[in-house]
Amino acid sequence: MFGKTLIMSARKTLYMLMILGVIFSTFGTAQAREINASILPGGTAQVQIDNEVFASLEQKGEARVIINLRDPVSIAAPSSERESAVARIQGSVLSRLTPQDFRVIRQYVNVPALAGHLTSSGLNVLMSDPNVASIDIDQMGAGHLSESVTALGADVVHSNGYTGQGVTVAVLDTGIDTDHLDLSDDLVAQHCFTDSQCKPGSTAEGTSAEDENGHGTNVSGIISSGGVVSSVGFAPDASIVAVRVLDANSSGWVSDWLAGLDWIRTNQGTLGVDVINMSLGTFALYSGHCDADNSSVANVVAQLNSLGIVIFASTGNQGSATQMAMPACLSGVVAVGATFDSDLGREPDSGTYQDVFGGSWPACANDTTNLQTITCFTNSNSVMDIVAPGARITASGMGGGTSTYMGTSQASPTAAGIAALMLQASPGLSPATIEATLKSTGTSVTDAKNGLSFPLINALAAVNAVNTTFTDVPSTYWAYDYIERLYAAGITSGCSTSPMMYCPLAPVTRAQMAIFILRGEHGSAYTPPAATGTVFSDVTISTFGAAWIEQFASEGITSGCGNGMYCPDANVTRAQMAIFLLRGKYGSAYVPPVATGVFTDVPVGSFAADWIEQLASEGITSGCGGGNYCPNAEVTRDQMAVFLVRTFNLP
């Protein structure tokens, strides 16, 4: 962006003196001296001013700005506390300004900011206001203009019953075709914030998000099309909240985007938004995270993240190898670049993207086009997070038909739709978990512009990763399949039910082992006889697992730990487990073949050597690595799952 500076440079100091010269004649020298001291070197105020504010004041006599106020409460403050505190600080700032100083465009509810037209006299007032943190130019931006559903495995996810049902996605864009057969059933709320183009009445705010461009309808279709007219979307049963923040030309002001986010934050109790998509961005680009340069937008993004809302945004289509647009560059937003959805041949057919689309599109072309090719028009740098198909994407179109678009705008809703599938599969996922899962389950692809690699997301892999029984056993965990099979067989319900956890690295006690092995032997419906409390001196009828322990002994699988005791709380070793498993499988009379010395740490004649080698010969274990078995190591719950599934051949 046009950077921000404290008012210290010679040029800016000179210009401020010019402004002050006008103010001196109006308000007198006492105020001028105070203001002069606050802005010149050695002054105390630390209000940061966007350089473009000065340029606009110099050229036009006023500047359209966003005044970023110092946040009076924490990001996680309750809505009632935040709203009243923000109103107080806004009121304090406005009370010092006259209509000649500042004309309000937007006054936000949860965001400590004001947007409007600022004059040089107003800037003079704000520079001495301790509530003001910075002043940004109100930038202009625009939208970043069904093979992908199948290519990313979403069709399989749908067949598995995950369609985004119960998940709400807010789309900040040009609006939505409210009567479109693909989308009308999904639309649950709508609002509009544009520069005097909201319908009806051409107002700056309204309750209708009717699309007059088509971009927002296409984006919404990628997310939730029901497949009546166009191809089915990634989350066809997701609900859509349409927030129009771009005009009929797909352009808009950051202050309007901020108003849309503020509206969601203010009405979240009613809306219940889970995912936000912003297929739009500023014309100005940033080389890294841009929170400091867009503090009010960063503030509301942080508020929304704290409510569990994950936000996706397109990086932009200028083809930069080092920069991207805002809001994608914010640290609380998942930045999405574009690949092709299939092999399209050369794109464009002839010439460059700039030749075809004009404007800020780059003078480049893609000779190779496939799912693994990042488009040369994608803005990317080290803070881009993921890539998804964005060229060419046919989805719902304005007027009830279809439309085909190409751009990072189409990649971002792809990611948002997949996030909706993930949230249906595993409600309550945090924004950080969603982002991390999309990254970890993606396939690495490299941007030829800069040599950087990014994850190409995959719907099936991402949903499978979060669609797990236990929150602490992701699908990528080494023993995931065995633990899931153990749960499906009814042998365990985990170590916690709220949330569901398995505690895979926890050791297995002798009491737990008795339950595990008897259920593996007899099935999940098995219930042992009631305990008598007379078999072992340290196992009373109230001891955890008492009935199972006594049955374990009754079947001859154990005789205890010595001296008439069972030691129910002692942890089981891998050597002991070999004996227990094989006796549970074959009965108490079973005797394994004599050991031959298979493992380097289990010599012939050592404790349980025969049992350990038989366990290995049956493929139940291959040891602990390096030719060892680790007989004295404690058995963990993940290892126990493997032992039980293999020993009793659990489905």
- Residue 11: pLDDT over 60: no
Name, in order, each residue with C-beta under 8 angstroms of 74's C-beta and a sequence gap of 6 or more: none
Return the minimum-mean-pLDDT range out of 42-46, 105-109, 474-478: 42-46
**Helix, strand, coil percentages, rounded to 5, for the chain:** 35, 20, 45
pLDDT tens sequence across 268-324 = 999 999 999 999 999 999 999 999 999 999 999 999 999 999 999 999 999 999 999
* Residue 283 CB burial class (10 angstroms; 0-12, 13-18, ≥19): middle
Name, in order, each residue with C-beta under 8 angstroms of 168's C-beta and a sequence gap of 6 or more: 188, 238, 239, 240, 241, 271, 272, 273, 274, 275
Q: How many residues does the chain have?
A: 651
- The answer to whether residues 93 and 131 touch, using CB atoms and an 8 Å cutoff, is yes
Assign domain 141-466 one CATH number from 3.40.1000.10, 3.40.50.620, 3.40.630.10, 3.40.50.200.
3.40.50.200
Delimiting residues of CATH 3.40.50.200 domain(s) in the chain: 141-466
What is the pLDDT at residue 147?
57
Q: How far is CA 509 from CA 50, 533, 545, 641, in A?
A: 64, 19, 11, 14
More confident residue, 579 or 141: 579
* Residue 131 CB burial class (10 angstroms; 0-12, 13-18, ≥19): middle
- Residue 393: pLDDT over 60: yes
| Pairwise CA distance, residues 279 & 275, whole Å | 13
Strand runs labelled E in 315-466? 324-325, 334-340, 386-391, 393-396, 402-405, 443-446, 453-456
- pLDDT band for position 15 (cuts 50, 70, 90): very low
Structure tokens at 651: 């489905």
Q: Residue 49 pairs with which residues in a beta bridge?
A: 5, 135
What is the pLDDT at residue 466?
87
pLDDT tens sequence across 236-254 = 999 999 999 999 999 999 9
The model scores a pTM over 0.85:
no
Residue 189 sits at φ, ψ, to 5 deg, of -165, 155
Summary mean pLDDT of the chain: 91
Stretch 331-338: mean pLDDT, rounded?
Answer: 98
- pLDDT band for position 195 (cuts 50, 70, 90): confident
Stretch 208-222: mean pLDDT, rounded?
Answer: 96
Name, in order, each residue with C-beta under 8 angstroms of 14's C-beta and a sequence gap of 6 or more: none
Q: How far is CA 301 from CA 53, 177, 223, 251, 311, in A?
A: 24, 27, 21, 21, 8
What is the pLDDT at residue 371?
95
C-alpha of 316 from chain center: 19
- The answer to whether residues 415 and 228 touch, using CB atoms and an 8 Å cutoff, is no
What is the pLDDT at residue 46?
80
What is the pLDDT at residue 150?
83
